[in-house]
Amino acid sequence: MRSLLYLFFSALAGLVAPAQAAVPLVPKPPQVEARAYLLQDYHSGRILAAKNADKRMEPASLTKMMTAYVVEQELRLGNIRLDDQVRVSEKAWRMPGSRMFIEVGSRVTVEELLKGVIIQSGNDASVALAEHVAGSEEAFVSLMNSYAQALGMTGTHFVNATGLPHKDHYTTARDLAILAAATIREFPEHYALNSQKEYTYNGIRQFNRNKLLWQDPSVDGIKTGHTESAGYCLVASAKRGDMRLISVVLGAKNENKRASESLKLLTYGFRFFETHKLYAAGEPLTDVRIWKGAKERLSLGLAEDLWVTVPRGHYEKLKAQMRLPTQIIAPVNQGQILGSVDVYLAKEEGEPWAKRDLVALEAVPEGSLWQVISDEVRLWFE
């Protein structure tokens, strides 16, 4: 993998090939038979294909992605444990739709219920976990909406933990991709449950409804959903090499279509695009002169990893440009924004292909009185 410095020096030395089209031609995304869909690169966040990505849609059992996310947050915070014994209420036991088949009054561990939610899509397991975490499903839903807001899921509102139809229970393809990425990023160990093909509880063997787990070995999740009004839905993710894609298909007409249309999107993304990590968070990209400080040089870098997704075969046509202030005066706080890295594809004009803030990698306090006066004089002559 070539470093971003290579891109800087190539541009400065004039070693880059003659100007070409800023956006290379790639085939149009495939026609997808669904009410809404989205294909996104996990690392870079670049949208590769979309239709009605921000249209309110019924999530059906895709709701359980947030149910599991809240439970995993509670586990991380130490508010619950995997070996907690959860007493199954009559409400949980009576839940219609897909079920884990837990018995009323029985005690089931959080770990078993989490598998029942993720693998078996159990409505009964979802309500049992909601009641254990928050005392009631209604209180748990408040947590779901709070986490949705925190993640930036601006087109989402939940009224239950299962996905049963309700006029005020909705989401969007874009928001589901946000949730999928957060689940993969924050809970990799529990995310592995999404690739488990079957789970047996109470002597009843049930299979994961995500058919892509059998059709494509690179697919490792995430969740299916279906109601008569929502149609057939699937949020899928696949990883090939260092590249991971997330697809969202909402409102397909049958179970086979939601799988085939999702695979169509994933195949398109992997075939015609590639993703590269240009620089890691905290790694110095440059060091600059800092005036009136306790030291004269300051390292600048990125607060987060910089990934780019480009049409396949066009990686070496990337050009990176640092934009810095003319003067940097102490004091400076660690993490303070002091410019940007703009990455262009072929031409250094128009909108950057990717852009990230340059931040101070360390704090530099104001220097001594002598240093301040000395630099003031130097700046006068500068």
**Residues involved in catalysis:** 61, 64, 121
Angle at CA of residue 191, ends 123 and 219, nearest 5°: 100
CA distances (Å), origin 80, targets 71, 109, 114 = 8, 11, 12
| Residues 105 and 95 sit within 8 Å (Cβ to Cβ) | no
Instruction: Report residue 219: phi and psi, to 5°.
Output: -80, 130
Distance from C-alpha of 191 to C-alpha of 42, rounded to nearest angstrom: 14
Largest CA distance in the chain: 84
DSSP three-state, residue 275: strand
**CB crowding 241-263: b at 16 or more within 10 Å, else e:** eebbbbbbbbbbeeeebbbbbbb
Q: Kindly report the length of the chain.
A: 382
Is 230:253 a contact under the CB 8 Å cutoff?
A: no
In the three-class reduction of DSSP (H, G, I as helix; E, B as strand; rest coil), residue 260 is classed as helix
> Are the CB atoms for 76 and 183 separated by under 8 Å?
no
Q: Residue 367 has what DSSP assignment?
A: -
